């Protein structure tokens, strides 16, 4: 496996080098880097041109300039060497530019990718399992709509409803009874579609969902919950335990109690840690959250191992997935409890432009909510588009796998349908999807340019386009470097995933 990975890495580096060379040559030959200065009427035009030539090194042959860039770029990966991505034609440090652009773009793209994978795979599998049902048709219809959505237009709609109308509404969040009924009806309808079963069961699902949602909405409305929401540790534990049960049911079922116990122990341990650390958590901090996240994973893996016995691997998996879900829920709990404080500081919470509110002063959780709400709309937009394709791919590969002989054999043996889908079919269906996601990630980075623009973010796409327009190779090269590296890394991750998903590849 290691050799295989290193071979793949070696090839990737070569490809990256070739691509970089090609892009460099193409960029510097795509126009006249002095064009704007040639047309200037400034008296010191010649001096300006001279200065630009010096800054960009235009007096040197292309291979020298390329070698200089390459030396600096290699320095970014090889320790002990200076990382230097050159300067723009205005003398700006490209490394600094890249850092800020990259952080903006990655924030968008990573969030969108993770969400798209989760939602896309879940929806894809459900629609494959319920193929040719009403649910499947609705999903297919939706997927095609989202897939062909013009981004700029969807962005305008999102801003209208997700920002402007939402902000108007949140100022005085009242719901009429009709609105509550409609929302509850839709939820019930969707749930019975997704869960399926015979008509009686469907009716029951829909009815129960309708009642629960209606009651919840009525409570929220009466309690002014939309402005001042709270969850509390009790709800956190309840939700996490529910998630633990769900994960267990998907992975092993309940015949093996020790796995369930592992999940529940994780929730218990999580609750204790959260309670013990509540003062620290109240202050917040990204480093703290990251540290706690790592700790959570370590602790839950250990819990899984301890409970595991002969089901060790499954128990560990269930435990850490439960742990991750629980940490997300805890973060949500803290964020939610600061929502009303943030609304005081920022009466219209969702902005239509910008990555953060200008001069926003609040504590960690308020700032977290501020950047979070800003992230919401562009992430939703990027997610919608990716979800569409991911769900289609998942559906088709799942359908293909479900037709395989070994699935029939498994069913013939009397393996439960849950086990057939999660254990035998799902894993194999993920293999083609892994490839797609790896490819898609790099193209999402460049594809985010329209989204970045309409939401007023300054990201990689912008840097690339501005560089190209000005025939300024350095920003373009660092774009290539970042997207290229992302592609290589994602492909590496995909390779490792293959090995995990399909043990034959490891040999």
Partner 1 sequence: MTFKRRGGAVLAVAAASALVLAACGGDDDEEPTGDSGQAEEDQGSDSDSDSDSDSEASGDVCREDLGDLETQDDTIFYSTGESEWSGYNSDTPSTYSTYNNVINSRMSQSFWYWGTDGSFCEDTDFGTIEVLEEEPLTVQYTINDEVSWSDGTPVTAADFILEWGSESPTMVNADGEPLFDHVSGTDYGEYAPDGPQGDPTGKQFTVTFETTYADWNLLVGKMYPAHVVAEQAGMSIEELSQAILDGDTEAVEPAAEFWNTGWLSPNPGELPDPELVPVTGPYRLKEGGWEGGQYITLEAYDEYWGPAPGTQEIVFRFAAADTHVQALQNGDLNAIEPQATVDTLAQLEGLAPDITTETYPTLIWEHLDFNFMEGSPFADDLALREAFAMCVPRQQIVDSLITPIDPEAVVMNAREVFPFHDEYDEVVEAAYDGRYDQPDLEGAEAKIAESGAETPIDVRIGYSAPNPRRTDEVSLIKASCDEVGFNIIDVGSEDFFQPGGTQESGDYEVALFAWSGSGQIASGQNIYATGQPQNYGEYSNEEVDAEWQTLATSADPEVHLEQTKKIEKLLWDDLFGIPLFAHPGVVGYDSTLQNVRPMSAQDGLVWNEEQWYRAE
Binding residues for partner 1 (CB under 8 A): 36-37, 39-44, 46-48, 90-93, 96-97, 100-101, 104, 156, 159-160, 163-164, 167, 348, 350-356, 358-359, 453-458
Q: What is the dihedral of CA 367, 369, 374, 375, to 10 degrees?
A: 110
- Closer residue to partner 1, CB minimum distance, 83 or 298: 83
Smaller CB separation from partner 1, 366 or 440:
366
Q: How far apart are CA 417 and CA 420, in angstroms?
A: 5
Smaller CB separation from partner 1, 108 or 355: 355
10 Å CB burial of residue 453 (0-12, 13-18, 19+) is: middle
CA dihedral over 310, 427, 135, 161, signed as positive or negative: positive
Min dist. Cβ of residue 455 to partner 1 (A): 8
Q: How far is the CB of 115 from partner 1 (least distance, A)?
A: 24
Whether 505 contacts 498, CB under 8 Å: yes
For partner 1, which is the closer residue by CB, 376 or 496? 376
Residue 442 CB, nearest approach to partner 1 (Å): 22
Q: Which is nearer to partner 1, 367 or 395 (CB)?
A: 367
241 vs 375: CA distance, rounded Å? 28
In angstroms, what is the minimal distance from the CB of 287 to partner 1? 21
**Do 105 and 445 touch, CB atoms closer than 8 A?**
yes
CB 278 within 8 A of CB 337: no
Q: Smallest distance, Å, CB 233 to partner 1?
A: 36
Cα diameter, the chain: 88
Minimal distance, residue 186 CB to partner 1, in Å = 26
50 token code pair: 């001279």
Strand partners, 87: 93
Residue 100 or residue 443: which is nearer to partner 1 going by CB?
Answer: 100
Task: Indicate the SS3 state at residue 87.
Answer: strand
CA distance 126 to 89: 52
Minimum distance, C-beta of residue 456 to partner 1, in the bound complex (Å): 4
Nearest-approach distance from CB 7 to partner 1, in angstroms: 40
Task: Please say which residue, 98 or 127, places its beta carbon nearer to partner 1.
Answer: 98
H helix runs in 130-162, sequence order:
134-147, 151-158
Instruction: Give the nearer residue to partner 1 in terms of CB position, either 422 or 453.
Output: 453
Minimum distance, C-beta of residue 51 to partner 1, in the bound complex (Å) = 9
Give the C-alpha separation, 475 to 275, whole Å.
47
CB closer to partner 1, 87 vs 497: 87
CA 368/CA 438 separation, integer angstroms: 29
Length of the chain: 507
Q: Using an 8 Å Cβ cutoff, are 209 and 192 in contact?
A: yes
**DSSP secondary structure string for all residues of 187-240:** HHHHHHHHH--SHHHHHHHHHHHHHHHHHHHHHHHHTTTTTS---HHHHHHHHH
Handedness of CA 194, 195, 197, 201 (dihedral sign): negative
Choice between 36 and 282, CB closer to partner 1: 36
In whole angstroms, the minimum distance from the beta carbon of 445 to partner 1 comes to: 17
- Nearer to partner 1 by C-beta: 164 or 186? 164
Q: In the complex, what is the shortest distance from the CB of residue 70 to partner 1, in angstroms, rounded to a whole number?
A: 24
C-beta closer to partner 1: residue 129 or 351: 351
CA distance to 143, 165, 350, 355, per residue, from 160 (Å): 22, 6, 11, 17
Q: Residue 273 corresponds to which tokens in the numbers above?
A: 């840690």
Output the smallest distance, CB 260 to partner 1, in A. Answer: 48
Structure tokens at 128: 């494959």
By the 10 Å C-beta count (0-12 exposed, 13-18 middle, 19+ buried), 1 is classed as exposed
């Amino acid at each position: 496996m290691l050799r295989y990975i290193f071979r793949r890495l070696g090839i990737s580096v070569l490809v990256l080098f070739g691509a970089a060379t090609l892009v460099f040559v193409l960029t510097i030959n795509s126009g006249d880097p002095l064009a704007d200065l040639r047309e200037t009427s400034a008296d010191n035009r010649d001096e300006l041109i001279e200065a630009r030539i010096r800054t960009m090194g235009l007096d040197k042959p292309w291979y020298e300039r390329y070698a200089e860039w390459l030396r600096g770029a290699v320095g970014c990966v090889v320790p002990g060497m200076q990382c230097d991505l050159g300067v723009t034609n205005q003398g700006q440090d490209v490394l600094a530019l890249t850092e800020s652009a990259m952080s903006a773009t990655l924030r968008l793209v990573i969030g969108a990718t993770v969400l798209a994978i989760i939602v896309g795979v879940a929806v894809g599998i459900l629609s494959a399992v319920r193929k040719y049902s009403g649910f499947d048709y609705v999903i297919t219809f939706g997927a095609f709509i989202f897939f062909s959505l013009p981004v700029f237009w969807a962005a305008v709609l999102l801003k209208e409803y997700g920002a402007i109308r939402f902000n108007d509404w949140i100022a005085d969040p009242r719901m009429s009874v009709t609105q509550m009924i409609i929302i509850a009806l839709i939820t019930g309808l969707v749930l019975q579609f997704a869960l399926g079963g015979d008509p009686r069961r469907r009716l029951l699902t829909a009815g129960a969902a309708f009642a629960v949602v209606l009651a919840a909405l009525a409570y929220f409305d009466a309690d002014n919950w939309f402005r001042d929401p709270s969850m509390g540790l009790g709800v956190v534990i309840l939700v996490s335990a529910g998630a633990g049960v769900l994960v267990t049911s998907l992975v092993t079922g309940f015949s093996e109690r020790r796995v369930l116990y592992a999940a529940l122990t994780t929730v218990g341990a999580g609750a204790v840690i959260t309670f013990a650390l509540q003062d620290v958590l109240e202050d917040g901090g990204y480093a703290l959250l990251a540290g706690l996240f790592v700790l959570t994973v370590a602790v839950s893996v250990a819990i899984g191992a301890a409970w595991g016995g002969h089901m060790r691997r499954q128990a560990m998996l269930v435990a850490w997935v439960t742990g991750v879900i629980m940490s997300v829920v805890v973060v949500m709990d803290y964020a939610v409890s600061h929502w009303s404080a943030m609304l005081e500081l920022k009466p219209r919470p969702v902005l239509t432009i910008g990555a953060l509110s200008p001069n926003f002063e609040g504590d960690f959780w308020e700032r977290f909510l501020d950047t979070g709400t800003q992230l919401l709309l562009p992430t939703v937009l990027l997610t919608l588009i990716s979800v569409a394709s991911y769900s289609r791919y998942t559906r088709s590969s799942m359908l293909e796998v479900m037709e395989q002989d070994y699935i029939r054999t498994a069913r013939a043996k009397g393996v439960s349908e849950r086990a057939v889908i999660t254990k035998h079919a799902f894993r194999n269906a993920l293999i083609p999807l892994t490839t797609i996601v790896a490819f898609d990630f790099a193209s999402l980075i460049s594809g985010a340019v329209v989204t970045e623009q309409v939401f007023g973010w300054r990201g990689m796409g912008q840097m690339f386009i501005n560089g190209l327009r000005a025939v300024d190779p350095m920003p373009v090269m660092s774009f290539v470097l970042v997207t290229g590296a992302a592609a290589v890394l994602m492909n590496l991750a995909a390779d490792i995933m293959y090995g995990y998903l399909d043990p034959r590849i490891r040999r």
